Amino acid sequence: MLAANDSFYAAFEGRDMDAMSAVWEHSDRVSCVHPGWNVLRGWGAVAGSWFALFGGPQHRQFILTNHEAEVEGDVAWVTVDENLLDGDQAAATVTSLNLFARGADGTWRMIAHHSTPVAPTVG
């Protein structure tokens, strides 16, 4: 399941739509909230948002910190801070809740990604 979370961020950084598609469950129950966006539901809408982001000018790079993973049956969730880099400076921090479900084939796939900007940590 941590591998699925890692694959998500690799696809995000690499702007790799095929890899991002492989990370997600392709179903109506998936949801995605990009910072400041309304919730998107269903793989079609979620996929469209990644196409739009990957087609945009901004190449995101992260340092991931403060992550914790929990598993309950065939569902897992990860809380993680995405520290967005601008050059080698941390430009912004987003805290995310990533939700995964394990399919019948044993593969963990993302079913929700919910991100919110947080105030920079002092210190």
Chain contacts with a copy of itself (rule: CB under 8 A) = 29, 31, 33, 35-39, 41, 66, 68, 70, 72-75, 77, 79, 81, 95, 97, 99, 101, 111-112, 114-119, 121
Residue 61 and residue 83 in contact, taking contact as beta carbons nearer than 8 Å: no
What is the Cα–Cα distance from 53 to 77, expressed in whole angstroms? 24
Smaller CB separation from a copy of itself, 5 or 115? 115
3-class DSSP state of 56: coil
Shortest distance in whole angstroms from residue 51 CB to a copy of itself: 20
Shortest distance in whole angstroms from residue 123 CB to a copy of itself: 12
Shortest distance in whole angstroms from residue 72 CB to a copy of itself: 5
- For residue 4, what are the CA distances in angstroms to 49, 82, 90, 91? 19, 16, 25, 26
Strand partners, 90: 85
Q: How far is CA 122 from the centre of its chain?
A: 25
Shortest distance in whole angstroms from residue 107 CB to a copy of itself: 14
Smaller CB separation from a copy of itself, 16 or 31? 31
